[in-house]
Amino acid sequence: MDRIRITGGQRLNGVIPISGAKNAALPLMIASLLTDETLTLTNVPRLSDVSALSRILSNHGVDRSVAGKRIGQSAETGQTVALTARQIVDTCAPYELVSTMRASFWVIAPILARMGEAKVSLPGGCAIGTRPVDLLLMALERLGATIAIEGGYALARAPKGLKGAEIVFPKVTVGGTHTALMAAVLADGTTVIENAAREPEVVDLAICLEKMGAKIEGAGTSTITIRGVSRLGGAHHAVLPDRIETGTYAMAVAMAGGDVLLEGARADLLQAALDVISQAGVEVSETNEGIRVRRNGAALEPVDVTTDPFPGFPTDLQAQLMALMTKAKGTSRIRETIFENRFMHVQELARLGARIRLDGDAAYVDGVEKLTGAPVMATDLRASVSLVIGGLVAEGETMINRVYHLDRGFEALEAKLGRCGAQVERISG
């Protein structure tokens, strides 16, 4: 099993290209099931989750082709993927495939909308919380589907097609909003989604669906209106830049010090996080090429942050911020309100010398003079990259185990950091 070794103490200087967003690419790929024509996606990141979803879509009959590299492309630049579901050959998504990635459960919506039935394995538990699918199934029921749970599978049926309806989510749910959107675009009549997720990845999916012929209004607000159409066509769409990768590398620069251009990044996708980084005493500026992050000797200031749905501070940057605050001059308070059990990285950061106290949904981080390298274990995707951030300044060597978590969400991480001066190395086997 691969490991990553980091020798701390190096400043970061240079350019880091920002990849396409994993959390946008996955629902966009799933949307290919809605049409028998080709959906071509550019700026698709090279990640293990993308590869896993490709295998799942292939099981349903989706043909996939990847364009060859062009001049100037590298392993750090997005790929172009063409997806064609001329015929859905299997309406069942089995456990052995769905269990590898929770987002694959979302295939239930386009398969049901197009075929009138779908059988999808329940995804099971998760290291950072249960993330139940009840709200996703509720949305489908509101559109006229009958849902049964049998043998660990969700069986959805709508033999006469889905019908437009009002869907009111009791809490903001990105997965539920993705599911409702993909089901409603082929429903008969008008659907209104209330308390919809406002995340940029939801907007990106809506834009792509509109290119395919869907009629959607209000994406990016809490009320989305969809007028169903009888069929969708193919389209070309570029995946938006990854705001979580952007925030992660911004915090890496803030931690190690230096001057880095995050090439292709968009500030509007993560303004709340950039504001927090600025409050910590780091210089953040938007340029024509992306976002520039600089810290040259200034001490890090403590912050008080609560995770919230977009446009608030993202839960997917909570672990990275906690790592950064281990070097602040004072005590920071970080509240996690989105997922339960998302403080599993605390005990691993403590192995590097961090001083963190937990009290319910809040973590209190007392800044320390130094971190010291140690062997640590990644528990999930975002936790694993928080250990990378800590390792960048830890004295000596930090060895991060179970880095397959990193490969799910960070494209060419070692190459991107290494080119900016970090001493980071992947050790295979």
For 94, 101, 185, 343, 405, the CA distances from 402, given in Å and listed in that order, are 26, 17, 40, 17, 7
Residue 406 assigned ligand-binding role: no
Virtual torsion, Cα 109, 114, 118, 121, nearest 10 deg: -40
State the pairing for strand pair 258-263/235-238: unpaired
Residue 292 assigned ligand-binding role: no
Percent of the chain with pLDDT over 70: 96
pLDDT, greater one: 365 or 75: 365
DSSP run (H or E) holding 391: helix 381-391
Virtual torsion, Cα 414, 82, 238, 128, nearest 10 deg: -50
111: burial class by Cβ within 10 Å (0-12, 13-18, 19+)?
A: buried
Residue 408 assigned ligand-binding role: no
Q: What is the pLDDT of residue 74?
A: 57
Q: Can you list the pairs that 111-115 forms with residues at least 24 positions away whose Cβ atoms lie under 8 Å?
A: 111/33, 111/60, 112/140, 112/145, 112/156, 112/157, 112/158, 112/162, 112/183, 113/34, 113/158, 113/162, 113/182, 113/183, 113/185, 113/186, 113/187, 114/33, 114/34, 114/88, 114/186, 115/88, 115/91
Strand partners, 219: 221
For 16-33, the pLDDT digits (tens) are 999 999 999 999 999 999
Where does CATH 3.65.10.10 sit in the chain? 3-19+241-427, 22-238
CA pair distance 66, 23, nearest whole angstrom? 19
Q: Cβ(189)–Cβ(163) under 8 Å?
A: yes
CA pair distance 343, 349, nearest whole angstrom? 10
Q: What is the pLDDT of residue 145?
A: 98
Residue 102 assigned ligand-binding role: yes
- Tell me what the pLDDT averaged over the chain comes to: 94
At CA 17, angle to CA 11 and CA 21, rounded to 5? Answer: 120
For 329-384, the pLDDT digits (tens) are 999 999 999 987 789 899 999 999 999 999 999 999 999 999 999 999 988 877 89
162: burial class by Cβ within 10 Å (0-12, 13-18, 19+)?
A: buried
Q: What is the pLDDT of residue 371?
A: 98
Residue by residue, DSSP assigns 209-251 as HHHTT-EEE-BTBSEEEEE--S----EEEEPPB-HHHHHHHHH
Q: Which of 92, 126, 208, 420 is catalytic?
A: 126
Percent of the chain with pLDDT over 90: 86
Q: What is the pLDDT of residue 131?
A: 53
CA pair distance 150, 186, nearest whole angstrom? 26
Fold topology of 22-238: UDP-n-acetylglucosamine1-carboxyvinyl-transferase; Chain (3.65.10)
Cβ neighbours of residue 409 closer than 8 Å, sequence gap 6 or more: 22, 47, 49, 244, 245, 381, 382, 385
For 42-51, 66-75, 117-126, 319-328, which range has the lowest pLDDT when averaged over its residues? Answer: 66-75
Q: What is the pLDDT of residue 68?
A: 61
Task: Please say if 208 is a catalytic residue.
Answer: no
The DSSP symbol for 372 reads: B
State the pairing for strand pair 12-17/235-238: unpaired
For 205-218, the pLDDT digits (tens) are 999 999 999 999 99
Which is nearest to 120 in space by CA: 83, 95, 103? Answer: 95
Q: Cβ(270)–Cβ(239) under 8 Å?
A: no
Cis, bond preceding 311 (omega within 30 deg of 0): yes
Residue 22 assigned ligand-binding role: yes
Q: Choose the CATH number for 3-19+241-427 among 3.30.450.80, 2.60.40.650, 3.65.10.10, 3.20.20.70.
A: 3.65.10.10
Structure tokens at 82: 């063409």
> Is residue 72 pLDDT above 80, yes or no?
no
Residue 316 assigned ligand-binding role: yes
For 111-167, the pLDDT digits (tens) are 999 999 999 999 864 443 445 799 999 999 999 999 999 999 999 999 999 999 999
Which pLDDT band holds residue 73 (cuts at 50, 70, 90)? low
Residue 135 assigned ligand-binding role: yes
Residue 276 assigned ligand-binding role: no
Virtual torsion, Cα 87, 90, 96, 101, nearest 10 deg: 40
Strand partners, 284: 293
